């Protein structure tokens, strides 16, 4: 009952944005992710959806960003909710999942299988995809880190979709751009992510 109530509330909260987007002829870009896309520890105005929206506007794009990040979500969680979270008016979906699989030490083969299913479902719905990769931190075992990092470029190539190699490029391991936990970007860090990701989205939308 609680889950159904939450879904009903979310559907209602998101229902107005698509209408505005269609009225203006603007494509919708959905961010399917975890705490990074959800804006953990930040006000909504500083979270990735808002900052990415502002960056797209700065670059002249009319695309509408819709956040669909859930803190703590794994690729399995993303797979379970992809059909609900990525609404039918979505033109392009950024799949930014895998960080929690990494932190939990899950089998990379399982992570890739989940991501493959997510991408396949989106493609079947004629939704464009950008896969956002991750670079494991130095504290992760080398062999595991290499196997995990290889998931994203291999998946993008196999599925024929766009790749953003590292969602946290220029941000990870930089204390000035992260919150106290060292994992989640602060507002300045999110701004770096938005500036790196926005041109990729514009190119993918044109494609």
d(CA 64, CA 124): 22
Task: Verify whether residue 181 is a known catalytic residue.
Answer: yes
In whole angstroms, give the CA distance from residue 29 to residue 196.
16
Q: Do 82 and 118 contact (CB within 8 A), yes or no?
A: yes
Tokens coding 18: 């698509």
Q: Residue 156: exposed, middle, or buried by beta-carbon count in 10 A (0-12, 13-18, 19+)?
A: buried
Q: What is the side-by-side strand order in the sheet with 162-164?
A: 64-69, 28-33, 90-96, 128-132, 162-164
Q: Is 34 a catalytic residue?
A: no
Residue/partner pairs of 169-175 with CB below 8 Å, 24 or more apart = 169/135, 169/193, 169/196, 170/196, 172/135, 172/137, 173/137, 173/138
Choosing from 15, 34, 35, 61, the catalytic residue is: 35
Kindly name the residue from 34, 73, 101, 184 that is annotated as catalytic.
184
184 catalytic residue (yes or no)? yes
Chain CA centroid to CA 144, Å? 22
Q: Which residues belong to the active site? A: 35, 181, 184
């Amino acid at each position: 009952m609680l889950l159904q109530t939450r879904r009903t509330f979310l559907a209602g909260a998101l229902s107005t944005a698509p209408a505005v987007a269609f009225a203006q002829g603007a494509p919708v870009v959905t961010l399917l992710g975890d705490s990074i896309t959800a804006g953990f520890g930040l006000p909504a105005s500083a979270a990735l959806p808002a900052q990415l929206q502002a960056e797209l506007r700065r670059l002249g794009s009319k695309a509408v960003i819709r956040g669909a990040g859930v803190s703590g979500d794994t690729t399995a969680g993303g797979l379970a909710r992809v059909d609900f979270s990525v609404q039918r008016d979505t033109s392009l979906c950024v799949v930014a999942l895998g960080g929690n699989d990494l932190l939990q030490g899950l089998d990379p083969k399982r992570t890739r299988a989940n991501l493959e299913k997510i991408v396949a479902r989106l493609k079947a719905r004629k939704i464009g995809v950008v896969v956002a990769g991750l670079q494991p931190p130095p504290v992760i075992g080398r062999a595991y880190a290499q196997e995990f990092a290889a998931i994203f470029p291999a998946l993008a190539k196999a599925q024929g979709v766009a790749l953003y190699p590292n969602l946290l490029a220029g941000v990870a391991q930089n204390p000035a751009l992260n919150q106290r936990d060292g994992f989640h970007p602060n507002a300045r860090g999110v701004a770096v992510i938005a500036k790196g990701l926005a041109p990729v989205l514009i190119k993918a939308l044109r494609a």
